[in-house]
Chain A
């Protein structure tokens, strides 16, 4: 039990001007600052780090193709015992936490740094255009499917067709998430929003409008994991990682087995719950990747927070907003807080802060268990972790 993996440090990079990195920041010193801050709050230093997990889209083609090597060098980590550069899209960091769980538990390494940084807004690097239509992309790109929004729009239309969810269902999610962002001083968009604001916003890809889509921002973050035994001497309240799971099914939305049912999340969360010995009914809050509002709707159903097709009732009447029955995406999400391209690390950071009681104005009282689920690609990959502030 002494090697029970825990999260002991978290940090997210400050931004200004609606999600732009501070002057003097680049993608490496941003990650250094996040790493140092997350280590410092636990009372650790870079010298304690013996495992590193990173993913990102920067520096490619070029040194960014081998990010674990580059960050080991840049941060001066001496001969790490474990490296992970798995990139399965924005879910990657939740998957890294699951892998770190196994490595720490097995004694391969003691202190893991999970790290992410992105300057996509400042560098206007988001554009996915101009790439060759390779492999299975031949069909999507020749058809002019806007990526990734068009793929999520197809899933949304299919979900609406099968289960009677509506644009109002999706708007409930956008509005609740914005209300949480209003309580997060680091959120890029904090002004209150109404259902009508969402429904009347500029259409992008039917049925998704502007506020159904995540932000494009800079940003970065760090998560530090170690053993419960080591955490006894550290400064923060340890948050237990109790279970994890991951899966993947496709690259292009046309080959998603069932566009109305996020089976990768169902598979991944089943394993996480079983390992944790806690199920969806035990979860007091959820951090669900919100690249688009439909991502959240599909994920909550797949994770068993409600039955398949019943997400429309789960979110109705702002049930997931501040003061509602079920707190969800309490940092303001990718929809209103930040979305630097790969958002998954922020799910872990926020759940940790909430479970510790460190979430400031947005703190939810009485929390014990949280589920984090990251989605990558176009509903392509999924990774789940179950976190708790109580081991037993």
Chain B
């Protein structure tokens, strides 16, 4: 038994050579090499946009690589069929209304009777129960997944993925396996991952959390701007080492744009703060909701406050609550010193002057099948209703002019929203926000899925909003964007403000450390 394990541990299971991926002329991955051995846990770290998720998407077959190769070593031991990979994405792919038993069987197959094709529930159940006990999961096979806690769901999904490898020594790939879990829960996930590795499979996981990566993995590969900048043994490395690898050169490159922006920002800020602003643009008092716990925040006119944190920290929810898309459980919102209130609908927030640029443009940002004109005037179409008629020509002219202003191409207001590129769609959403003459703007991942060339234009539009005296809440997981725009950064962890960074402290490395610290502090 020991000998067999020893043998497989040395075996290379997954070999990635010179992997390159180009999107719209921009290299997202460049010549990435990566090797995963049997029995090894391998961590993949890097800042947002460094190419982690693209790499995983190529491994899973979602994207085709532009160049390079992915080789899976054939399994000498078992000798049957192809070696395999199993994936655990951030979305676990569990059906909440079905039982644990059914969820496992869905992806690993039901035991069926040869003759009639009928499901043999007893042996299927035995198989699943064996699996659950092997991994030490204390859940009933019959409980519905919806009734399980976040950790148990994740464990079921990992066990299922490991089980789908069957007896073969495949590779289990996990994307941020602990991102949504409380710190004191994540060790259970680590135990299961170690168990999978002990059984001879290779484990590759992407993580935002450097401490986790060092704790769990034997080898850590660091990505920066699509390249492997380091591949280190975890025993001989520290969190600070990894941060240096992740941000080293990027810091200097950022400084230039930073200085330009700082002078502009300080000018606008002194303007805003020079004359004492009478009231904050938004004041959140004791805001609690599903994820948020007692959030207090003031955003002043002309200020951009960045909000960041890991997936599941509640940052997106904070945006929705301010924009009225989700009702808070308790706490109040006050706009420009107005009476403390809670918005029951986006309409109410809009009436108070809150504009919202939601994440997931294709679903929440715009109506894909309606044209640019209709999307831009969606909130304000009433202003073109004069003397009993909707003045469509006037509307068309007005939108056409605004499309020039925000630089949306093609400049045809009759084009359907869905055919604009991501960046241009976002410009149209910004145009809609401008039209309501907002006093507070909430942006959630404003440059997600936007091509690199358009991002500066969006930055310009965002700064323009502050010049008009808006308070801007910028919710983002993109640290470059956060650093480039924010006057102040709030780090959220588990629904609470864990840290606030001001002025010089707003750097990618500091923010990343603050995010990691936030999680560790909660344990103590």
The answer to whether A and B belong to the same complex is no
